[in-house]
Chains A and B, each alone.
Chain A
């Protein structure tokens, strides 16, 4: 599959169909990848397809000029479509190289299962429903669903719907309704006071590094509301109340744009379970407006569309 991808990427560059290729190359840490953004045809030889291609590459589309060939998993594909709907990306300028993905391995989960850090693990091998982790020469088996990202367990579009070419066969999502919403259910089962205490604790850790916002393809604002000073909506220093307000408003801003790629939660250096907010928001959007972000490039973007019939009395 990788060979096919490299050939395709090289061809696109050689034929002048794109100016840049965005894909994944091997990372400098064990079990990692890194975004590869290049216009050199020699460099596409390092493109990879594996279970660790975590980034949502759609993020880079808005900043790379010209025509771009982009490797897209299901969630990246939805984010690209969402950006097209919001007029941030022109469809004709993008060649979507679809890569079916039946789930990515969450290295943090593997670390927790074996009680070792990433660099102390020798091997992680996925075979069907089973994953074998080798530490100090000893092999241990776990059910695959225990090492996938939670958002992968809730993935509905494992093969990007919108694509120009598809590398490999279409695959089914790993889908696990219960595990994918496990933490959200735990939160919903809490009494409001307890839930408030939980989030207070979580947002006390937030250091406002903005990794969640910066990694998110749906956060494409030229200037984020947190950076406004007149008026100042949120304090720029990390006090928990302001941290929480920042995240709540960010979630409202990405409602109808969030494709549940889970990147915000993965990159948080303070391990704040941000997907519990964004996934719940996506579910609410689906429930209230029957809308799934990035699934129809011709549909108007949810938050920019107004239908008389759906308006509340206040707006009618």
Chain B
């Protein structure tokens, strides 16, 4: 068993200050009441009080809403291309276990299946410091997806609130090194560890929304061609990009070039399978109808991802439920899947 450390809550500012010497430190911050991970101002640790989770998931710090891939300039020999280099060392403090798991999910495609250089450079230069949940939303359902609100598997260091202090779990060597020069970090006692265990048990119990995800991929496969069912559940969806853009595991992007007077740049930005034009091709659009897009979104997360990677592309963070303009609730969909095709089949 690894030893555990602890730190007084009032020393968090000091600790972040030390880390700021080596890293660009990101913490939860609100602008117009919209929380996201942004550069720490060197003082404010008020997030320790108000922070439950960010609106914009930390995936945005790895796959930003808009990103320049390269710039180009036409010259006598053709085009000169320049790829921006981003080797900044970053530390994200306070990432929730569901969102850290989201990053692990995206790794499966952007690191393990392909090597996306833009994502990779940010990923390998970023340290993740997790903060256990103590006050999950009523829309959270992480425990149904195998993520505990205190799960430490996807971060370098894990902080758990035990009253006036945080218990710190050293998960990776990288995390361990971060604490080596921090004088305010103490050895945790057995009593501290016991307190953390109580917190872990209590908070897991506070996640009240449940979905039975056992066999979910098979269940989805069984009702895949049940057009009536999908039409019904898709009816109120307005095909906006809120649930996908703000999902910690969704990673689709679109690419566009901008060319003005022989120079320009290639950008990529978030795209969404909810959009009608997402699958538009010259001759046809296989997901022209809304119900096909809604089905795609659900099946990609809970059927295709498990088929490819043995895990659902959902961490139960609940953002899609909290932020949906029409309260389209994926947990209700997953709980109401018909056992088999009951209506006209349609692929």
A-to-B contact residues, CB < 8 Å: 27-30, 32-37, 55, 59-60, 63-64, 108, 112, 117, 119, 202, 205, 207-211, 213-215, 223, 227, 232, 235-239, 263, 266-267, 269-272
Contact = CB atoms under 8 A, between A and B. Distances in A.
Contacts of A36: 236
A301 B190 CA distance: 74
Given A64-B235, A209-B272, A269-B55, 20 more contacts: A36-B236, A37-B235, A55-B326, A63-B290, A205-B31, A205-B32, A207-B65, A207-B245, A208-B65, A208-B270, A209-B242, A209-B245, A211-B240, A232-B256, A235-B267, A238-B65, A238-B66, A239-B267, A269-B245, A270-B34
Interface of B: 31-34, 52, 55-56, 65-66, 137-139, 235-236, 238-242, 245-246, 254, 256, 258, 267-270, 272, 275, 277, 290, 321-323, 325-329, 331-332
Contacts of A64: 235
A59 B237 CA distance: 11
B96 to A, nearest CB: 15
A215 B325 contact: yes
B326 to A, nearest CB: 5
A29 B34 contact: no
A235 B268 CA distance: 11
Contacts of A202: 32
A202 B52 CA distance: 23
B242 A37 contact: no
Nearest to B136: A119
Contacts of A208: 65, 241, 269-270
Please name the 6 residue pairs, one residue from A and one from B, whose CB atoms are nearest each other, closest first. Answer: A237-B269, A209-B241, A267-B325, A34-B327, A119-B138, A214-B240
Contacts of B239: 214
A223 B275 CA distance: 11
A239 B66 contact: yes
25 contacts: A27-B327, A35-B235, A37-B235, A60-B236, A117-B137, A205-B32, A207-B65, A207-B241, A207-B245, A208-B65, A208-B241, A208-B269, A209-B241, A210-B240, A215-B326, A223-B277, A235-B258, A237-B256, A239-B66, A263-B325, A267-B240, A267-B242, A269-B245, A269-B246, A271-B33
Contacts of B272: 209
Nearest to B138: A119
B268 to A, nearest CB: 7
A227 B241 CA distance: 14
Contacts of B31: 205
- Greatest chain A CB density within 10 A among B32, B272, B327, B328 is at B327
B77 to A, nearest CB: 28
A306 B325 CA distance: 36
Nearest to A63: B290
Contacts of A60: 235-236
Nearest to B137: A119
- Greatest chain B CB density within 10 A among A35, A60, A211, A235 is at A211
Contacts of B66: 237-239
Contacts of A263: 325
A147 to B, nearest CB: 16
- Greatest chain B CB density within 10 A among A207, A208, A271 is at A207
Nearest to B140: A119
A296 B327 CA distance: 32
A210 B270 CA distance: 12
A208 B241 CA distance: 8
Given A30-B138, A208-B269, A210-B241, A235 B325 contact: no
A237 B267 contact: yes
B70 to A, nearest CB: 14
A13 B256 CA distance: 48
A207 B270 contact: yes
B34 A271 contact: yes
Nearest to A209: B241
Contacts of B254: 236-237
Nearest to A36: B236
Given A28-B327, A207-B65, A236 B256 contact: yes
A201 B306 CA distance: 40
Contact of A269 (B269, B323, B327): B323
A49 B180 CA distance: 60
A266 B34 CA distance: 13
Contacts of B329: 27-28, 34
- Greatest chain A CB density within 10 A among B32, B270, B331 is at B32
A236 B329 CA distance: 28
B236 A35 contact: yes
Contacts of B270: 207-208, 238
Given A117-B137, A214-B239, A214-B240, A29 B32 contact: no
